[in-house]
Structures are given as structure tokens and as C-alpha cells.
Amino acid sequence: MSPLLRRVYAHRNVAGAAELDYSLAGLLPFTQLAQVDTAAQLLADVIAADQHIVIIADYDADGATACALAVRGLRGCGAKRVSYLVPDRMRDGYGLQAPLAELAAQAGAHLLVTVDNGISALEGVARARELGMRVMVTDHHLPGAQLPDADVIVNPNQSGDGFPSKCVAGVGVMFYVLAALRQCLRDRGWFAKQEIVEPNLAALLDLVALGTVADVVPLDRNNRIFVAQGLARVRAGRGQPGVHALLAAANRDPVRITAADLGFAVGPRLNAAGRLTDMRLGIECLLTDDPNAARRMALELDGLNKERRQIQAEMQEQALADLDGIDALSAAPVLCIYREAWHVGVVGVLASQIKERVHRPVIAFAREADGTLKGSARSINGIHIRDVLANVNAAHPELIIRFGGHAMAAGLSLAEENLDRFAHALEQEITAHWPSPELGMALWSDGELLPEEICLETAEQLRAAGPWGQSFPEPLFDGEFKISGARVVGEHHLKLTLANGNGGRPLDAIAFNQAAGLDLETGQCARLAYRLDVNEYNGRRTVQLLVEQIELGADTPPPSPRRSLPRATTRGPGSRIK
């Protein structure tokens, strides 16, 4: 291993070569997951009795991939009656609610299997049981004080579960359930009796990889195995037709894809269905075996994603205008923003974008059809937002209607008249119990590169050294460069030509969304934080710097669009900010 890679891995607490072995043999065994054997037995009994299994999905990419995985895996195990239901974000709310259970009963369901949801579905599970259905919950979200009265719950984060990987995504939990089911059916001699070829679950790992990356769960070694194996299948042309079609819609070459392509190209297109219309379109795209049908659905999803981006841009402009002139912004530990006209399906993306601007937790709210407010929270390192909400709920049980989520992302609902009280309680909670969050923007660098290391070979080496992602970040470097050329492209981006230290060859660089507020001159020196990328154009492959941050020299005014808010003159009507 090169000294550079040794350094990069050491910065990510990799202690030995075994942690970089991404073969399937390195996956944690399903036997370590609590209640997974009980879940497998239940599924095997239902399949043998030819009963109807209904998957209760979620409307994000993790839920969609988990649903497609469950349907494909159960059918591969010989289940003849498998269907799914997915709630409408705007009409039904999140997860297994009582009306969805009633709809499943009308469809003749015998067993409901939740994927990426269910751990907080107390009323929905109870209603399903009242209607005579059995319920299996598979989830990864943090449980509340009370668990649903399901027949079996598989969730590595429930109390007493010793499964070592607590950050497995919902699609990963379902993969383990299918692995246990296959072993159970194998032990029963089911495949031989039915003359069924045992399903190759590894053939579905592209779905697991996509859901894992899109849900932005930490990439511990177990999740890196999932992602690495899924990427390998796609690169070899053996992914699901829908995954390949979504890559084509995003103009990504499947032979060279990385985890970032799943997170920033495929995931948003899949999520667009759940944000704006109905996630059934995304699930069907992942379920079809017809490449032509997959292509048509992927193009429709691509169109929805373009619409989502336009809505998001308008909301972001309004939010930034609302933030303009807030004197207490530098001291505020958290921001709650709201406009009644905002789109419920896009507030999560908005919260994420504003968080990147202000570098503190953000909760963006929109009004739902029933008049309640739906909030999406995005947090920063050092503030576990789901735990914060739990503490606020414990201290003020009258404020929050429901909530759930992870350390970095969560969702909640509350009455509009409680917004100001909630914002005040939230700020008090964070101030009192989370005293040292990293509110300012901090970029953690892997250090400087030698001029000869800034080359295509190094970029290729780093790309192959992944998968990179949440809690296992792609390498970031910093260094001093002389700017020999700068121009604005695409209205918001800076295209740079750099002198590579010590009079080396010129380098191409691009700084996305950093054109505003910077007046760069030829010959000017700047310190850059950057990633190495491979730029492919007209069949030619060259190294390119993806610039995360520009720090101008001491003799130059230091405006930084990544650190400061754009200035606006008015605050829009109907807006609220705390």
C-alpha cells in the first residue's frame, strides 16, 4: 500500500488490513441479529401456507430499495403471493398508519412486513392485529419508550440486541431477514421439495448498496462491504435494470461508478417520486426486469427530479431571504424555518441545504393538508437530533405529535400554534445539554499532497480505495496554489486553472456554487481544500481538483460563499424563523 493510502486509512481509524477486506465472507452473520430466526420461521410458515404477504414500504430511497429487495427476495424463495403498499407522503403520513393497515386487510393480507419503518407504528400495528393480520417489523430507526405489539421485531437498535453494526440501513436489515429465511427454508428442505433453485441474494446487493448510501448511514466496515459488493455488481453489468436505467438517466457510466454516484445521482432521482408524487413509480422501476420499461420509468423519475430541484431552489431563495439580517444567527445553536406554502416533500432537502450554509442544525417546516406542521431536521456532528427531540418531548409532551429518526436526520409533526414554543424549547435543550457542538464549518484535511502526487494515478487510486461515505469520508487535501485562470461557468460555479506548486504543470479545478462573492485575479495565491477527481471528456481522462473551500491570501479580502449567507433585502410574507 502506498504511503498516501496508509495515511488516509489511518486518519479513518483503520487499524489493519482485515478492515479493508470487503468480501462477502466479512459480513456480520445474520445469526447475531436478535429475533431474526423467529422472523425467518414466521415467513417460512406463511410461504408454505401460500398466504398473502404485504410489504409496508417507506417513501424514501432506503424504503423503496428495501421494498424491492423484499419483494424480489421473497418471490425468489418461492412466495407466490407478495405485494406492497407505500404511503403517500402528503396524504397518509409516515409508515404503517391505521388506514394503511385497513387497506392491507381489504387486499386480503395475512402478514404485514414493514421495511425501513414500523418501530414507532403503535396504532398501525395494533389496528392490523385487530383486523386479524400478523405483523413483522423490520426497521433500523431508534425505538421509543414503547414498542409496537408486533409478532416479531427485527431492529438492531432495539434494547438488548447485540448486533455489532447499529448503523445498518433498513434495506440492510431486510437483507439479513432474507438470508435467515433462505437458511430456514434450506433446513426444511423447501427448495428441493418445490424444485426451486435457491435464490442468490448477492444478486440483489446493488439494491442494498443504493439504499445504504442514499440513507446516509455511517459506513462502518459492514456497510462498506454492502456498498462495495453492490458497486461491483453494477460495474460488471449485473445490477437491476432499474438501477442501470437510473444511472443512464443521470449520465453516469456504470463501469466507473462510485458510492457518490449512488448518493448524488441515483438516490435523488429515486427520492423524487416519494417527494412529489408516489414512490410506487420508484419501486416499480427497481422491480421491473424489462430494460425498456425501466428506461421509461427512469426518465419519468429524472423529470420529477428536475421539478424537485426547481421547487427546492425557490424555497432555498426564500429561506435565505428570511435568514438575512438575523443578528443572533452567529449565536443560535439551531434554526427552525417555516413558510406555509413550502412543499412538504422538499423540506428535508431544504433543511440539508440551509444546514450547509449556516453550519448548525436546521428544522424546516411545511403545512400538511390537515393543518399540522411537518418538520424535517438535519443536524451536524456533535448534536444527536433524534435524542434532542426525545428530550424535548419528555420535558414538553404537549408540543410534539410524533417524531423519529437518527443522529443526523429526523422528522416530526406538531400543531402550528406550538411552533414558537417548540423552537424555544429546542434551543434551550441544545444549549443546556449539547454545549460543545461544532457550529462553525470545519473541514478535516488529510494534509498536503506533493506536486507529483496530484496526478491521474493518485486520483484513480483514491477512487478505487473506497467506498467513501458518511463517517468514512472521501479524502480531502489542502495546499497553496497560484491561480493562473478563473471564469464562471453555469452561473454559479468557478472553473480554475492552477499552477501546481514549485512551478509544476497547470491543473484544472472546479469550485461548485462558489462564484458569488469571490473576485479572483490571475497570479493570486489561495489555499484550497480539495478532492482529487477524474475528469472524462471526449474519451480523455485527466485529473481535476474538486474545490471545497477557497481561502484567499492575507492581503485579499476573505469573502467565502461557503461560510457566509447571501445578502437579501426583504423577508417574505408568511415566513417564520427562530
- In degrees, to the nearest 5, what angle opens at C-alpha 258 toward C-alphas 255 and 263? 125
pLDDT at 578 (0 to 100): 46
Specify if 8 maps to a domain: no
Q: Above 60 in pLDDT, residue 430? A: yes
Total domains, the chain: 3
Which of 129-138, 316-325, 409-418, 555-564 has the least mean pLDDT? 555-564
Specify if 542 maps to a domain: yes
Q: Above 70 in pLDDT, residue 458? A: yes
pLDDT digits (tens, 9 = 90+) for 275-315: 999 999 999 999 999 999 999 999 999 999 999 999 999 99
Q: Indicate if 339 and 465 belong to the same structural domain.
A: no
Residue 252 grid cell: 453516469
pLDDT at 194 (0 to 100): 96
**Which of 284, 300, 316 lies at the terminal end of a domain, its last residue?**
300
Q: Is 278 exposed, middle or buried (0-12, 13-18, 19+ CB in 10 A)?
A: middle
**Which residues in 22-38 are b (16+ Cβ under 10 Å) and which e?**
beeebbbebeebbbbbe
Q: Indicate if 412 and 512 belong to the same structural domain.
A: no
Q: How confident is the model at residue 144 (pLDDT cuts 50, 70, 90)?
A: confident
d(CA 81, CA 78): 9
pTM of the predicted model over 0.95: no
Please compute the mean of the pLDDT values over residues 100-121 and round it to a whole number.
Answer: 97
Neighbour order of strands in the sheet with 152-154: 82-85, 53-56, 111-115, 134-138, 152-154
- Find the largest Cα–Cα distance for the chain: 80
pLDDT digits (tens, 9 = 90+) for 482-532: 998 888 888 788 999 998 754 567 899 999 888 776 777 788 899 999 999
Compute the residue count for the chain. 578
Nearest to 221 by CA among 42, 23, 416: 23
Q: Indicate if 429 and 468 belong to the same structural domain.
A: no
d(CA 571, CA 319): 9
Q: Indicate if 283 and 237 belong to the same structural domain.
A: yes
Which of 108-117, 256-265, 323-332, 507-516 has the least mean pLDDT? 323-332
d(CA 46, CA 44): 5
pLDDT at 561 (0 to 100): 35
Q: Indicate if 489 and 387 belong to the same structural domain.
A: no
Q: How far is CA 412 from CA 364, 389, 403, 519, 545, in A?
A: 10, 9, 4, 42, 39
Specify if 246 maps to a domain: yes
The enclosing domain of 499 has a CATH number of 2.40.50.460
The enclosing domain of 436 has a CATH number of 3.10.310.30
Specify if 398 maps to a domain: yes
Nearest to 354 by CA among 93, 61, 577: 577
Specify if 19 maps to a domain: no
pLDDT digits (tens, 9 = 90+) for 17-34: 899 999 999 999 999 999
Q: Indicate if 437 and 461 belong to the same structural domain.
A: no
pLDDT digits (tens, 9 = 90+) for 322-348: 887 655 455 678 999 999 999 999 999
Which of 159-173, 425-439, 450-464 has the least mean pLDDT? 425-439
The enclosing domain of 112 has a CATH number of 3.90.1640.30
Q: Indicate if 461 and 406 belong to the same structural domain.
A: no
Give the 3-state secondary structure of residue 498.
Answer: strand
- The residue range of the domain holding 201 is 30-300
Specify if 5 maps to a domain: no
Q: Indicate if 416 and 545 belong to the same structural domain.
A: no
Give the 3-state secondary structure of residue 158.
Answer: coil
**Which of 300, 316, 341 lies at the terminal end of a domain, its last residue?**
300
Q: Is 575 exposed, middle or buried (0-12, 13-18, 19+ CB in 10 A)?
A: middle
DSSP state of 192: H
Q: Above 50 in pLDDT, residue 15? A: yes
Q: Which long-range contacts (CB under 8 A, 24 or more apart) does 481-489 make?
A: 481/507, 481/525, 481/526, 481/527, 481/528, 482/523, 482/524, 482/525, 483/520, 483/521, 483/522, 483/523, 483/524, 483/525, 483/526, 484/522, 484/523, 485/522, 486/520, 486/521, 486/522, 488/515
Q: Indicate if 262 and 165 belong to the same structural domain.
A: yes
Q: How confident is the model at residue 203 (pLDDT cuts 50, 70, 90)?
A: very high
pLDDT at 440 (0 to 100): 62
Estimate to the nearest angstrom the gap between the alpha carbon of 489 and the chain centroid. Answer: 28
The count of C-alpha atoms lying within 13 angstroms of the C-alpha of 317, restricted to the half-sphere facing its C-beta, is 6
Q: Indicate if 132 and 156 belong to the same structural domain.
A: yes
Please state, rounded to an integer, the average pLDDT across all residues of the chain.
90
Q: Indicate if 406 and 500 belong to the same structural domain.
A: no
Specify if 477 maps to a domain: yes
User: What percentage of the chain carries pLDDT values higher than 90?
Assistant: 77
Specify if 288 maps to a domain: yes
Q: Indicate if 432 and 467 belong to the same structural domain.
A: no
Which of 378-382, 386-390, 498-502, 508-512 has the least mean pLDDT? 498-502
Please report the DSSP string for 426-489 in residue order. Answer: HHHHHHHH------S----------GGGSSHHHHHHHHHT---BTTBPPP-EEEEEEEEEEEEE
